[in-house]
Structure 1
Amino acid sequence: MNSQETLPNTQRFVLREHQGAVNVCRYNAEGNYCLTGGQDKHIRLWNTTTGLKVITLEGHGWEVLDIAVASDHTRFASGGGDRSVFLWHAGRGELERKWAGHTQKVNAVAFNPYSNVLVSGSFDTQVRLWDLRSSTRAPIQVLRDAKDSVMALDVADHTITVGSVDGFVRTYDIRQGVLTSDYIGHPVVSLSRTRDGTSLLVGTLDHTLRLFDVTRGSLLNQYTGHRNGTYRIRSCLSRADTLVMGGSEDGTIWCWNTLNAQPVDTLKGHTNVVTCVSFHPRESSMISASADGSVIIWD
């Protein structure tokens, strides 16, 4: 880990074009653009260097709840209240495909590392896998083990990790056909894996973030001080995994030292729940989204 990693604590741009809550913010693979989705049913693409909006994407009929960007830069996916999964062409800003099948809102979407499979998780408790190379509209697999709303997904080489309101983190080894279930005891709303893939940051509705060892399932650390008991807040780790970043329902962003779990700083910029924080893939920069309708780019 890089002990010299610095906290981005200066507001470079405040983006305010969304009408209503902004539910998600994601960088592209290079970090020169970011995507935001909100209650206003729109997805907006921003240039993170200039702070200028590039395009507004319309297609959702209900609020946008999650966005995932493919590793090959060419596409991104979104899900929301429509109960459908949307696949967009990033360069053209056009809707390429749409899959139906979920019976409730789609809370989470994620690509596999090869960008040929898209995974979606829903309030209907199901996780569905969609083959991007096939013309069929049917999922290639449906995972039905969750007993309550699926809120978070993490997809690695051969594993799919699912966080649910039922308090479980379930990891499916697709290659071996093995399911591992870890009971956290509180609704799971956020999952974020370290860059080396060895640890998983889990956010739950008990005002706590927990870092688990992926192989052994043991608790490595827990991070407290923020308020998160009602709303889904997506947390993240910094570029070198030395910092844990988490939003709070009071509008602040908390930062902890990953190793000793001590708070490093608290950032103030939003006036309502911080719904999502995402760290830049290459630089000491991050973006945050809030129920107050704003998105902040921090340097």
Structure 2
Amino acid sequence: MPPAASTATPGGSAQAGRAHGADAKAFVTKANEELKRLQQILGISDEDVAIIEQNILPKSFWDQVLEILRGKPAAIVRSPVSRRSIATPLVRRTSPSPWILVGTGLAALLAIGLAIPEYQRRQDLAVARQQQQQLDQQQLERVKLIADRGNYELCVGEAVKVPEASTEFVAMQTLLQRCQDALNWRIPQVQNFAQLPSPVNAIAFSPDGKNLASGTQDGFVRIWDTGTGKVMATLEGDASPIWTVNYSPDGQELASGSDQWRILEWNLVNQELFIPLEHAGPIWAVDISPNEQTIASASSDLTVRVWDRQSGLVLFNFPVHKDVVYAVAFSPDGTRIVSGSQDKTIKVMSLETGEVLHSLEDHTEGVRALAISPNGQTIVSGSFDDTVKVWNLETGKLIQTLAGHSGDVVSVAISPDGRLIASGSVDRTVKVWDLATGELLNTLTGHTNEVDTVVFSPDSRVLASSGQDQEIKFWRQ
């Protein structure tokens, strides 16, 4: 007789389920203890584990692990049904096998262990990004501070170094544009510095930039405090219009030229007037030499003279022009002198030999104003032909012609940093040009009559202008 088939009884199944449940509970407890120990060894917190679970390990993995560890019934997998399976009652297992629990636990521990490096990598990247963002913000604030202090050239130099990858790249580009505009005088701030009782024919900054001298049609020379706008001193000349004013390099003396043919020079410490030096016609321009030993003058008597300031003797008398001489300037090294005349020419003369080195002849009308660059390489001239011309001082060759004014150009200046040209015109405007390229950077409007003088402050950050509207204006970068 064949052996009887074994039949599982309900009681046996219950006992097996309780045994499996106890094993599962014990394993879960042990697994939790091992997980805690692993956390301590790896130095990660519950929050770190949660982050790993949520962001690194697949959710499906944890769903399966939790189902097993919580003893949920596993899904029944359909398979072909045999007679034996029909004959044999199907018992649904209510708890997972201990071996399944062990394998699942080990898989969980292994998954967390493998996920730790990825988690740490992501954490390191997050920290690095945060640190870089802080550095980018600090750099932006530093460049903003540079801009607020008015050092626009340094601002541009620092801003262009910032890469596109910077978290503050967009903000830095905005700041860069602001500094470039300020550096190129595209957004100057205008100040109506002073209103005088008569036309302002001439102005000049002191070497330290703290004072401004003005010469007016009423015959007075006034010394202004550039910070407060107050008149510090009023110097009375010969009761005739003052056409030019110029400081000595040490700022201790001031020279002026009058319509009554005189060079008037004062000691600014005690306001003492020195013995006047005289031409045979109005004095249109004066310049004190870099070594302060001599003074040059340009006059309607067609001459350019160089005087010894101590003795008052004429050292050079250059009768080189055929008409009124409006402009004169020393080269920075003091070895040459340049003059401009109504005869349409510019003369470059040696103070060592007294000879004319160059005669520059490209203007079609008289030359009213001159300036020499700080490096001594360039001459800039303004003319009644409405143009500004740039020349090579060494060779006498024309470099370029700047057109844009619609009236006589009666004043020109070069910024002390050697970057810019300013020109003032009968057309009531001031124009700012790039010395190197000749590009017109801006046209400054606001004067209501011709602009007779333009001059830069020693730091190149302020441009002063004056004219027949009896006003002095400050244009700030």
Identity %: 25
SS at 2:352's partner residue? coil
Query: Counterparts of 1:80-229 in structure 2 under 5 Å?
Result: 80-136=299-355, 139-156=356-373, 157-175=376-394, 177-185=397-405, 186-229=407-450
| Cα displacement (A) at 1:57 | 1.5
Contact 2:464 2:472 (8 Å CA) reproduced: yes
More helix by share: 2
Candidates 253, 260, 266, aligned match of 1:40:
260
Q: Which residue of 2 aligns with 1:290?
A: none
Bigger RCO of structures 1 and 2 (CA < 8 A, at least 6 apart): 1
Q: Which residue of 2 aligns with 1:55?
A: 275
Contact 2:389 2:398 (8 Å CA) reproduced: no
Q: Which amino acid aligns with 2:442?
A: N
| Cα displacement (A) at 1:135 | 4.5
SS at 1:119's partner residue? strand
Which has the higher mean CA deviation after the structures are superposed, 39-48 or 91-100?
91-100
Partner Cα distance (1:166, 1:63) in 2: 23
Query: Counterparts of 1:242-281 in structure 2 under 5 Å?
Result: 242-257=461-476, 259=477
Q: Which residue of 2 aligns with 1:14?
A: 234
Partner Cα distance (1:171, 1:8) in 2: 36
Partner Cα distance (1:90, 1:184) in 2: 40
Q: Which residue of 2 aligns with 1:280?
A: none
| Cα displacement (A) at 1:203 | 0.8
**TM-score of the aligned structures, taking structure 2 as reference length:** 0.50
Q: Which amino acid aligns with 1:19?
A: A
Partner Cα distance (2:307, 2:260) in 1: 18
Partner Cα distance (2:332, 2:427) in 1: 31
Contact 2:372 2:414 (8 Å CA) reproduced: no
SS at 1:162's partner residue? strand
| Cα displacement (A) at 1:169 | 1.2
SS at 1:13's partner residue? strand
Partner Cα distance (1:114, 1:171) in 2: 20
Contact 1:112 1:155 (8 Å CA) reproduced: yes
Partner Cα distance (1:64, 1:135) in 2: 21
Corresponding position: 1:68 with 2:287:
yes
Which has the higher mean CA deviation after the structures are superposed, 161-170 or 88-97?
88-97
Partner Cα distance (1:211, 1:152) in 2: 16
Q: Which amino acid aligns with 2:472?
A: I
Distance 1:115 1:77, change over 3 A: same
| Cα displacement (A) at 1:175 | 4.4
**Structure 1: stretches of 5+ with no match in the other structure:** 260-299
Q: Deviations over 1:273-296 (max 9, x none)?
A: xxxxxxxxxxxxxxxxxxxxxxxx
| Cα displacement (A) at 1:178 | 4.8
| Cα displacement (A) at 1:100 | 0.4
Aligned residue pairs, count: 253
| Cα displacement (A) at 1:184 | 2.4
**Structure 2: stretches of 5+ with no match in the other structure:** 1-146, 152-208, 210-225
Highest Rg: 1 or 2? Answer: 2
Corresponding position: 1:236 with 2:464:
no
SS at 2:274's partner residue? strand
**TM-score of the aligned structures, taking structure 1 as reference length:** 0.79
SS at 1:234's partner residue? strand
Let me know the Cα RMSD of the aligned residues. Answer: 2.0
More strand by share: 1
Partner Cα distance (1:90, 1:3) in 2: 39
Partner Cα distance (1:163, 1:33) in 2: 27
Which has the higher mean CA deviation after the structures are superposed, 219-228 or 93-102?
219-228
Contact 2:383 2:410 (8 Å CA) reproduced: yes
Q: Which amino acid aligns with 1:189?
A: V
| Cα displacement (A) at 1:183 | 1.2
